[in-house]
Structure 1
Amino acid sequence: MSELRNTRVPAADGAPEVDRKALWVVRELGLPAIVKSCVACRSARHHPTGKVRVNASGKLLDVWMLISCELCDRTSKITVHERVHVRTLDHERLVMFENNDPAVVRQLVMDTALAGRTGYRLDWTGTWELETDLPFHELDEPVSLEVVVRFELPAPVRVEKLLTAGFGLSRPAVRGMVESGRIRLPVAVDAKVRGDFGFFVVTSSSS
């Protein structure tokens, strides 16, 4: 949901003054698929079962996230912790593991460090949508705009894709505005972002 203000906002840290501010939100539609080869069939896509398994051997613990093959439903394990001493784990987090807490399952599924460490990748297709009620025609008005983009999930999204979706413009139009200085970005237009950031739309390249 966008939040627009018609009052002029003072500039900070060298940023241009803006007439309005808008909020765009990358809304979560679902969790990413886990891409790893299934040992039982030809599929390479898995989804979390919502369960975490904790196995104790004396004071040593193994913790696994359980995932299910999209094609054959075979359950596999992703190693979260291996042979760690019980005292090295935060007690509250251990209880969340033991109770299959949805929040900790969600965190594990979207953990890119865990994916890299255990040799699989995440497919973020269909996991997000951009929510903004900013009218497209307002870009033609002689006012400047600051847009804050918030992420509900760490999906890697190309900046160009956000701009085309948010403003309802073509890729060439967006690139033209970036090249002319009308859109001022903190990163390259073809970069991928996965966390909150902001950018400016100014009245001209000399603003």
Structure 2
Amino acid sequence: MSHTLTVQWTIEPQTAPRPWLACSRCGGQRAFVCSGKTRLNANGRRLDAWLIYRCAVCEDTWNRPIFERRTVTSVAPDALAALQSNDPAWIRQVAFDIEGLRQCTDRIEDLADSSVERRVLGGTVDSARLEIVVVARHASSPRVDRLLSAELALSRARLTKLEAAGRVTLLPESRKALQRPIRDGCRIVLDLTAEDDRAEIAQRARGGP
């Protein structure tokens, strides 16, 4: 029998990152929220495209550039179709592109609300070791400590003690594991040997009955 319960957690952030920008109407820095709408403009034979954001306070708009001054033939057909139809899946992908957003602002508010889909890959709740394989397709993801605290119902203080005892590791990176952001393909390993409630923790990790 395996001594490790291995589960896969697929993480889907619920709220897109919010850039902080100078709002002309508010007169100060404000968080801007993705509206889920795009704007496509033709200027002669050139195209400009933006993703529309609104101030979280006054709803003033900011147009985030997707591309500028591009010829029609240089734009991928699926991207052009998505822009013309305001395709939600394509817009979500752009909205969660933090690296692209960093080209527009230095301050980005990355909200930690995420849904987690669980799948057991092996082992049972009686296992003394828990390994969580993370699937995170979007760069916007919570830190390890926030994820474990929310999904396993473990306090931050308890997680810190487990890490200090060398019983929480993050692969491939393990130094200061709890402070690391979740990344696609990473593995979180918890040694629950000395935990009296390890079966309950394992049950929460695997989900279901």
- Please state which band the TM-score falls in when normalised by the shorter chain: 0.7 to 0.9
Letter in 1 for 2:191: V
For residues 31-180 of structure 1, the aligned pairs below 5 Å read 31-42=16-27, 44-119=30-105, 121-125=107-111, 127-129=113-115, 143-151=128-136, 153-180=138-165
Equivalent pair of 1:24/1:149 in contact (CA under 8 Å) = yes
Determine what percentage of the aligned residue pairs are the same residue.
Answer: 24
Distance in 2, matches of 1:34 and 1:159, equals 23
Equivalent pair of 1:185/1:199 in contact (CA under 8 Å) = yes
CA deviation map 1:82-111 (0-9, x unaligned): 112222211121111121111121122111
Distance of aligned partners of 1:196 and 1:121 in 2 relative to their CA distance in 1, 3 Å threshold: farther
Deviation at 1:130, TM superposition (A): 5.1
Matched residue pairs, number? 186
SS in 1 for 2:53: strand
Letter in 2 for 1:119: T
Letter in 1 for 2:16: L
Deviation at 1:167, TM superposition (A): 3.2
Distance in 2, matches of 1:34 and 1:50, equals 14
Distance of aligned partners of 1:58 and 1:100 in 2 relative to their CA distance in 1, 3 Å threshold: same
Distance of aligned partners of 1:54 and 1:145 in 2 relative to their CA distance in 1, 3 Å threshold: same
Deviation at 1:203, TM superposition (A): 5.8
Query: Which of 186, 189, 203 does residue 200 from structure 1 map onto?
Result: 189
SS in 1 for 2:22: coil
Distance in 2, matches of 1:146 and 1:179, equals 18
Q: Once superposed, which parts of structure 1, at least 4 consecutive aligned residues long, lie more than 4 Å away? A: 129-134
Deviation at 1:133, TM superposition (A): 10
SS in 2 for 1:44: strand
2:9 maps to 1:24 = yes
Distance of aligned partners of 1:76 and 1:169 in 2 relative to their CA distance in 1, 3 Å threshold: closer
Between 195-204 and 59-68, the greater mean CA deviation after superposition: 195-204
**Runs of 5+ in structure 1 lacking a partner?**
1-6, 9-17
Structural RMSD (CA): 3.0
Letter in 1 for 2:143: R
Distance of aligned partners of 1:173 and 1:109 in 2 relative to their CA distance in 1, 3 Å threshold: same
Equivalent pair of 1:157/1:194 in contact (CA under 8 Å) = no
Distance in 2, matches of 1:114 and 1:36, equals 15
Which of the pair has the greater relative contact order for Cα pairs under 8 Å at 6+ separation?
Answer: 2
**Runs of 5+ in structure 2 lacking a partner?**
195-209
SS in 1 for 2:49: strand
Task: Calculate the TM-score normalised by the size of structure 2.
Answer: 0.73
Distance of aligned partners of 1:21 and 1:142 in 2 relative to their CA distance in 1, 3 Å threshold: closer
